[in-house]
């Protein structure tokens, strides 16, 4: 067994630790993956409260790391490197993970490496399916909606982003509007199972235009407008709104991915990652698209689509193998684009953000 890497993830509202390695022939191995959700702490607020998240990470992280090491049947003496999310994300949470990694590194003489959270998502398929470069990546989450050409480790070309809201935010805001609770994505998906996806026709912004970019703010507005027309909402109305919204999102993403495939005809693999990638309707729509174009679709297991430390540990392992490490001056980054040369645009779910 080659070097074991400990991963730490505290960028938002999951406290996570994991251990990964390769076996003797180089095949990726996931030895443990522990995730503690903070849903209960944030549910009454309808979203993540940064200070509460940071405090929760601080109180839980030591125990989560100990559990990850135990489940991997190892201890710190067997760990050869530590990967920790150092951005993008909520600065308070990032600081908790980063300072913990630095403390372990300094006290035990273990090298550590700050990892881009988005790169973790981008490389997850290499951990789960040993995917070869290059491939297309559809990264969809609460803060990001991007299509990226993954050419190699550290070599990423953004083909598309959202010009306003991220798709995960659209799910969250729809759930809040309809009184479904938090987190929004799973709540909308659950309600949609009882709904008629053809009852409402919602707009697909930017469709037909000469761009791969996406837009979801207009979709949110259309759902709100339709819901107001139906007040008081019946349970079936809510289910139909969710089903129609989910179908529309799936069609938007499939349309953009199809155009990206046409632009990158030398690539025969599409990877979908991020929290929204756990939505089964979206997965099924992408499966149909890829079958039509004879492209392989790789969708990691649901537990590795949402935030986790396994993806951070794996990204670190690949970079450690290139001889990389971080020093003690590394600071957390609330924004950190995969493609450092990307020009500032309105997108990534935040106005003026680099994506």
More confident residue, 238 or 338: 238
Give the model's pLDDT for residue 170. 92
Phi-psi label, residue 269: left if phi above 0, alpha if psi -120 to 50, beta otherwise: beta
Give the model's pLDDT for residue 342. 60
- Distance between CA atoms of residues 266 and 309, nearest Å: 31
For the cut 70, the answer to whether the pLDDT of residue 354 exceeds it is: no
Both tokens of residue 60? Answer: 């839980």
Least confident of 8-12, 93-97, 345-349: 345-349
Q: Which residues pair with 271 in a beta bridge?
A: 137, 298
For the cut 90, the answer to whether the pLDDT of residue 182 exceeds it is: no
- Distance between CA atoms of residues 304 and 9, nearest Å: 12
Beta carbons within 10 angstroms of residue 95's beta carbon: 17
Mean pLDDT of 72-80: 97
More confident residue, 50 or 79: 79
Closest CA to 190 of 242, 142, 235: 242
Least confident of 64-78, 106-120, 331-345: 331-345
- pTM comes to 0.91
Beta carbons within 10 angstroms of residue 265's beta carbon: 8
DSSP 193-259: TTS-TTS-----TTTTSS---B--HHHHHHHHHHHHHHPSPPHHHHHHHHHHHHHHHHHHHHHHHHH
For the cut 60, the answer to whether the pLDDT of residue 205 exceeds it is: yes
Q: What percent of the chain has pLDDT over 90?
A: 80
Note the residue count of the chain. Answer: 355
Closest CA to 354 of 118, 155, 13: 118
DSSP 46-92: TS--HHHHHHHHHHHHHHHHHHHHHHTT--GGGEEEEEEEEESS-HH
Sort 165 into a burial class: Cβ within 10 Å, 0-12 / 13-18 / 19+: buried
Mean pLDDT of 225-234: 96
Mean pLDDT of 63-79: 97
Q: Does domain 4-124+304-320 have CATH number 3.40.190.10?
A: no
Q: Which residues pair with 185 in a beta bridge?
A: none
With cut-offs at 50, 70 and 90, classify the pLDDT of residue 49.
Answer: confident
- For residue 38, the 8-state DSSP code is -
- Distance between CA atoms of residues 254 and 260, nearest Å: 10
Give the model's pLDDT for residue 349. 43
More confident residue, 346 or 281: 281
Give the model's pLDDT for residue 98. 98
Q: Which CATH class is domain 133-299?
A: alpha beta
Give the model's pLDDT for residue 339. 84
For the cut 90, the answer to whether the pLDDT of residue 108 exceeds it is: yes
Give the model's pLDDT for residue 40. 66
Give the model's pLDDT for residue 42. 61
- Distance between CA atoms of residues 253 and 335, nearest Å: 24
Give the model's pLDDT for residue 45. 66
Closest CA to 156 of 262, 273, 33, 259: 273
Q: Could you tell me how far CA 8 lies from the centroid of its own chain? A: 15
Give the model's pLDDT for residue 47. 67
Least confident of 2-11, 20-29, 180-189, 261-270: 180-189
∠ Cα 157 294 203 (to 5°): 65
Q: Return the domain boundaries, the chain.
A: 4-124+304-320, 133-299
With cut-offs at 50, 70 and 90, classify the pLDDT of residue 350.
Answer: very low
């Amino acid at each position: 067994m080659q070097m074991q890497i400990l991963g730490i993830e505290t960028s938002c509202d999951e406290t996570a630790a994991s251990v990964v390695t390769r076996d003797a022939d180089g095949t990726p191995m996931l030895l443990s993956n522990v995730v503690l959700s903070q849903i209960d702490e944030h549910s009454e607020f309808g979203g993540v409260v940064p200070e509460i998240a940071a405090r929760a990470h601080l109180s839980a992280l030591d125990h989560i790391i100990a559990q990850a090491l135990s489940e991997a049947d190892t201890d710190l003496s067997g760990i050869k490197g530590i990967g920790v999310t150092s951005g993008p994300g909520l600065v308070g949470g990032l600081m908790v993970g980063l300072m913990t990694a630095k403390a372990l590194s300094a006290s035990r003489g273990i090298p550590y490496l700050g990892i881009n959270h988005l790169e973790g998502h981008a490389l997850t398929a290499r951990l789960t399916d040993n995917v070869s470069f290059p491939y297309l990546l559809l990264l969809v989450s609460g803060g990001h909606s991007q299509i990226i050409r993954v050419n190699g480790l550290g070599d990423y070309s953004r083909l598309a982003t959202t010009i306003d809201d991220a798709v995960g935010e659209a799910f969250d805001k729809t759930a809040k509007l309809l009184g479904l609770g938090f987190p929004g994505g799973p709540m909308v998906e659950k309600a949609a199972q009882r709904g008629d996806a053809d009852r409402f026709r919602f707009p697909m912004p930017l469709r037909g235009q000469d761009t791969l970019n996406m837009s979801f703010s207009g979709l949110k507005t259309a759902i709100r407008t339709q819901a107001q027309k139906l007040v008081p909402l019946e349970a079936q109305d809510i289910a139909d709104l969710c089903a129609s919204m989910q179908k529309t999102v799936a069609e938007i993403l499939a349309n953009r991915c199809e155009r990206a495939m046409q632009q990158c005809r030398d690539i025969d693999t599409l990877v979908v990652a991020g929290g929204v990638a756990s939505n089964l309707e979206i997965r099924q729509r992408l499966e149909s698209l890829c079958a039509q174009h004879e492209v392989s679709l790789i969708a990691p297991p649901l537990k590795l689509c949402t935030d986790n430390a396994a993806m951070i540990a794996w990204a670190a392992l690949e970079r450690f193998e290139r001889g990389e490490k971080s020093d003690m001056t590394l600071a957390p980054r609330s924004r950190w684009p995969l493609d450092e040369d990307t020009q500032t645009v309105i997108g990534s779910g935040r106005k003026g953000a680099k994506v």
